[in-house]
Structure 1
């Protein structure tokens, strides 16, 4: 079985007024959620890079490591992948790309190409989930 070693997120915030969020953001991958926490700024027209795994760069990296418990690369095909906002502030996501890598260098990429360019508000009025799909051939 091939195990997930690291998960890398590149999340771009839109440039409209109040696009910035201070709400909590969670990534759902391979059957569990990972907290993208306070260390990252999701500011206007900025791209935040969040890493889970051996070089994790979140405040809570110890509790958000895909190696504990171990997750299989095949789990990516079984469970839905998504980003979820928790709170009332809202966030304008313009791009959200996730790269999952195994210990042996196997890579999978997930995104939602429908939001590229236009963006999508995650909030109380429009919904708090953005689902992602495997974009290997796109």
Structure 2
């Protein structure tokens, strides 16, 4: 058991027409959910960005999106589901996710990495549309 001090979340939005969104994206890990947002125009078609939570944070509302408050540990990351959840602005707001990797304590003690192997690559069968009419959540597994 090691304290989680940092989360690195790499998200890739597909470059398809209409793939981008102004909706809300969340990461669930260690029994908690984190709002994924930075001071940039997030989740545009073709966008790739790494969001940092905790030590060295680059996300908005970093104090309330900190895995150290309350303290989480690496055992929690394996006990609870790890997922990406999308909440569109309205019924017509969709998002096409092409890839996601979540790393716990990158380069440090107790490093763990999670992704969805079905979303690795660039083929049409290696991305997923999320929205109210398709489903809002993608589960990840430890790799």
Q: Normalized against structure 1, the TM-score is what? A: 0.91
Aligned to 1:26: 26
How big is each residue's C-alpha offset from its partner over 1:5-35, in whole Å with a ceiling of 9 and x where there is no partner? Answer: 1000110000111101110111000000000
Whether 1:112 aligns to 2:111 is no
Q: Which has a greater percent of strand?
A: 1
Summarize the alignment of residues 31-110 of structure 1 with structure 2, pairs less than 5 Å apart.
31-40=31-40, 41-87=42-88, 88=90, 89-101=93-105, 104-110=108-114
Query: CA contact under 8 A between 1:2 and 1:102: conserved in structure 2?
Result: no
Aligned to 1:11: 11
Query: CA contact under 8 A between 2:96 and 2:129: conserved in structure 1?
Result: yes
How many pairs does the alignment contain?
Answer: 135
Distance (whole Å) between structure 1 residues aligned to residue 59 and residue 134 of structure 2: 27
Q: Normalized against structure 2, the TM-score is what? A: 0.88
Structure 2 vs 1, CA of residues 50 and 102 (structure 1 numbering), >3 Å: closer, same or farther? closer
Deviation at 1:120, TM superposition (A): 0.3
Distance (whole Å) between structure 1 residues aligned to residue 12 and residue 113 of structure 2: 16
Deviation at 1:62, TM superposition (A): 0.7
Distance (whole Å) between structure 2 residues aligned to residue 104 and residue 38 of structure 1: 24
Distance (whole Å) between structure 1 residues aligned to residue 72 and residue 106 of structure 2: 10
Query: CA contact under 8 A between 1:82 and 1:132: conserved in structure 2?
Result: yes
Deviation at 1:104, TM superposition (A): 4.8
Distance (whole Å) between structure 1 residues aligned to residue 106 and residue 113 of structure 2: 12
Query: CA contact under 8 A between 2:7 and 2:106: conserved in structure 1?
Result: no
Gaps of 5+ in 2: none
Deviation at 1:37, TM superposition (A): 2.0
Q: Secondary structure at the match of 1:63?
A: coil
Deviation at 1:102, TM superposition (A): 7.3
Deviation at 1:61, TM superposition (A): 0.4
Deviates more, 1:86-95 or 1:96-105: 96-105
